[in-house]
Structure 1
């Protein structure tokens, strides 16, 4: 019975895919081995599974095969070394340069702080003096700017307070002017007949005469 052709596409079933990978990988390595033996060829095969596991086959040492491959593939290898390795070497060189620069900056900073000046010459000390004076001018200028900004803010705050005080004073004066006058009620007394009785300073008199003896009845 003739086996039908298998459509080449990704196997969706995970179990079937793993079984097929194992079988095909073993078949590939078997064919590579046969090719190296039958044809006296130097063969190497590298396979990474979907999970990232490495499988390899080489008819001789893998490193020698890769090195030999690099001689015929200048895009991947430069001077017999992979580009990734050369890139790492360049990064290491740059890192060493940055470390040296940082060390020099730290030494210079200590000198600016007055430390480690024993090895400085007169010219170096003069240079440090000039740099410090320049830094002080910049710091003082910035300090003056901050003081000016604070003074301006305080003046604005004072002006706001004065305006608020003036508005409050105007409101107090306005309330005083429009405050209503309390009504004054005049009370008048009335006699039994309903006629108004007016008080007079002569309506009643108080006797202040002093009598000695028995009281006399006055008519």
Structure 2
């Protein structure tokens, strides 16, 4: 079966001579350009401004958040302000990520600290005054394994350590 058309072919990049074809191509390509700009803005949060002048001296523009805002920022050289919805969303996401990472870091530090304390707790001993020997011990040196298991008369000593 023979094809009725040549299909989609590569167009040579030279100015068209036919006025009618030129207007149709301009309209289609302008719409495609604005669509791509919109997609870029939506997907990446980019601020975009496009201004196109046709041969018929008509002006077409696309901008996100708006053409004037983007042009003002470009001309003045000012960084973006956090007043736009997109910038607020980006800033909130960044702050949430930082909080999450800080919490993970703090938790990892606390876990490591607990391991070290547990590891060294068996080595800690308490020397009681010379005349005091707790019941069940032959000397005044008491192994310090669990601060909650200390005799009640010594609870003020070292309390709040863990």
TM-score (norm 1): 0.31
TM-score (norm 2): 0.42
Q: Which has the higher helix share?
A: 1
Query: Over alpha carbons, which structure has the higher Rg?
Result: 1
